Amino acid sequence: MISSFLQFIEFVLAERIISFSCQIHILALVLLLAFWLWPIGIIFWRRWRKNKASCWVTMWSCRHCSCANPQDVSYCQKCGGPFSTPFWDTWISAGTVEAIHKGIKGTKKILRILGWTACYIITFVIFIRFRLYSFQQLPLQELFASMVVLFTLLFIFFYKKAFSSQNFSILSRSTDFAAGTAVLGFMALCAFLWAAAPYPQNKSLAEIFITPQGQIVLTTRHDQPLKFQGKVHRRNIQFKVQYVLASWPLFYMKQTFLVQTGDLKIMEPWVYKWFKKAAPRLQEDDPHRLRLVFLEQTLQAAPGRVYEITDASRGTGLVLKKLDKG
């Protein structure tokens, strides 16, 4: 299903896929930059307004909606609630109430700073991990990496509204939280598609060339060639390939990810760590659940020829196919 979906996108966009991916990439970078500069812009805006000549008027805050109202008005202009004082005013002194108010205000400020710091760290890590700084990725990878950034910003927007101190509606909080969780799921799906894009099903996962001296040169769709030494076995050269098989029969999904060959890593290190952590929890062979398995296979080929590594047409495993180049 994953490969069919990727092929469908390539078919729909056709020759426009490169330009379309580039445009979405630029849009994601612009929005990400605007997100990073937003707090700084707010600080300068508030300082500019503070420096302007203004007339200060005493106001009272509505206990129901926190709307500020003029002192000579006895009801809230927003919700219509009457002016009232908290019940604790009769037992707690004004100084204590002011100290509590300042403590709450300071706590909100600290939480706001911690929240923005977490947002900066999350978005910067995604920017680096998904290589948003580069325009040299495969078009599909570039597209899904940009979608991950856009969904991340949308996720932060909904969760910020859900946990905002200005949001007093339980229904609104619940809706924003549910929307943010759904967006998080789409973000995870795009991250998976980004990782799967270089390994299309029924196509070459990688090409290898074996020199007469037994050195193997492996080339994938998105990386520089990897060189390593194979093991001589009679007249052929043997080498091991480790890969991850992700399968979900309920959705007709079967996806292969090359992990490493010899001592050289093919998969992104951070993707490998996530798969390594998730695999022990996804070992059950249940058609209704996702299954993630690490496998290893020994391949052998004749020196001086070019081969491609593909999925087996039946069952699981990898197959070497000789190309006409050799």
Q: Stretch 67-73: mean pLDDT, rounded?
A: 79
Look at residue 178 in the predicted model and tell me its pLDDT.
Answer: 94
CA atoms within 13 A on the CB side of 197: 22
The answer to whether the beta carbons of residues 210 and 219 sit under 8 Å apart is no
Q: Who wins on pLDDT, 119 or 65?
A: 119
pLDDT of residue 87 exceeding 70: no
DSSP 82: B
User: pLDDT digit string (tens) for 250-296?
Assistant: 777 788 888 888 778 888 888 888 888 988 888 888 878 888 889 88
What are the beta bridge partners of residue 229? Answer: 215
Predicted TM-score (pTM) of this structure:
0.69
Amino acid at 319: V
Q: What is the pLDDT of residue 180?
A: 93
Predicted pLDDT at 27: 94
For residue 202, is it left (φ>0), alpha (ψ between -120 and 50) or beta? left
The per-residue pLDDT for 89 is: 61
CB 184 within 8 A of CB 191: no
At residue 146, the pLDDT reads: 93
* Mean of pLDDT values over 68-89: 74
Residues 6+ apart with CB under 8 A from 270: 129
pLDDT in tens, 159-197: 988 888 777 788 888 999 999 999 999 999 999 888 888
Confidence band, pLDDT 50/70/90 cuts, at residue 201:
low
Whether 137 and 16 have beta carbons less than 8 Å apart is answered as: no
How many other CB atoms sit within 10 Å of the CB of residue 186? 15
- Please report the pLDDT score of residue 326 as a whole number: 45
